[in-house]
A = this chain, B = another copy of it.
Amino acid sequence: MSDLPIKPLRIDAAANYIDAIYRLTEGRDEAATTNALAEELGITSAGVSIMIKRLAAQGLVDLTPYEGVKLTAEGLRRALRIIRRHRILEIFLVNILGFGWHETHPRARALERVIDDAFEDRMDEILGHPTRCPHGNPIPTRDGQLLPLTDVALTSVEPGTSGTISRVTTDDADELKYLSSLGLALDLPVRLVEIAPFDGPVAADLNGRTVHLGPRLADSIRINVHENARGAARREAAG
């Protein structure tokens, strides 16, 4: 009497690993270690070790024992499909459903694994084909193209360098809530004032107001350096 039964009650675990591996290795070219994955997924390293062997057998990751895993081309392709869904969902949760940017990540994680292509396409269209998530991360195209990131960590530039907030890399709800309570938002002008030594606080001029952040939290802030200010930033890259 009903149509296709919704059979798979257990969700594709491989996708979960692929997704986690992507997040852990995004940007840098390293392999994801067993321990890091275990931490990220909330399971034991032993479990991860077993599972990544299966992923390797399926051709989704390259596994170097005692080293870690990297996504294969196919693994990356799948990861980017999930990442796209995740980021579109986050925008959807904010723009359409009215959630705050600190309320999107776990919800998008839960939804990203059950929606289909049509759902993704509808959201994309309704949202006007967004190019980044509420936290500034770029959204891959449907065929897996991804704009290269041009931003740098706020904590990596010379004091005095100014730019605009491009991205926030934390997913933690409390941290995000705190940041927005400070008035921080994407695309705001920002200038690094100083970084106190010995893991000290980071002072930044945010849209005219000075804020002081713990070094770990400040690390999660990415900025696009202003053209005219770039000279100051370049010294960092060289040094």
Contacts and interface: CB of A to CB of B under 8 A. Distances in A.
Interface of A: 1-7, 9-11, 13, 16, 23, 39-42, 96-99, 103, 105-107, 109-111, 113-116, 118-119, 122-123, 126, 170-173
30 contacts: A1-B170, A1-B172, A2-B40, A2-B171, A2-B172, A3-B106, A3-B171, A3-B172, A3-B173, A5-B40, A6-B16, A6-B42, A6-B106, A6-B109, A6-B110, A7-B42, A9-B11, A9-B13, A97-B119, A97-B123, A98-B122, A98-B126, A99-B118, A107-B115, A107-B116, A107-B119, A110-B114, A111-B114, A113-B114, A114-B114
A114 B106 CA distance: 11
Contacts of A97: 119, 122-123, 126
Contacts of A119: 97, 107
The interface centre, meaning the residue of A3, A16, A110 with most chain B CB atoms within 10 A of its CB, is: A3
A95 to B, nearest CB: 12
A106 B2 CA distance: 10
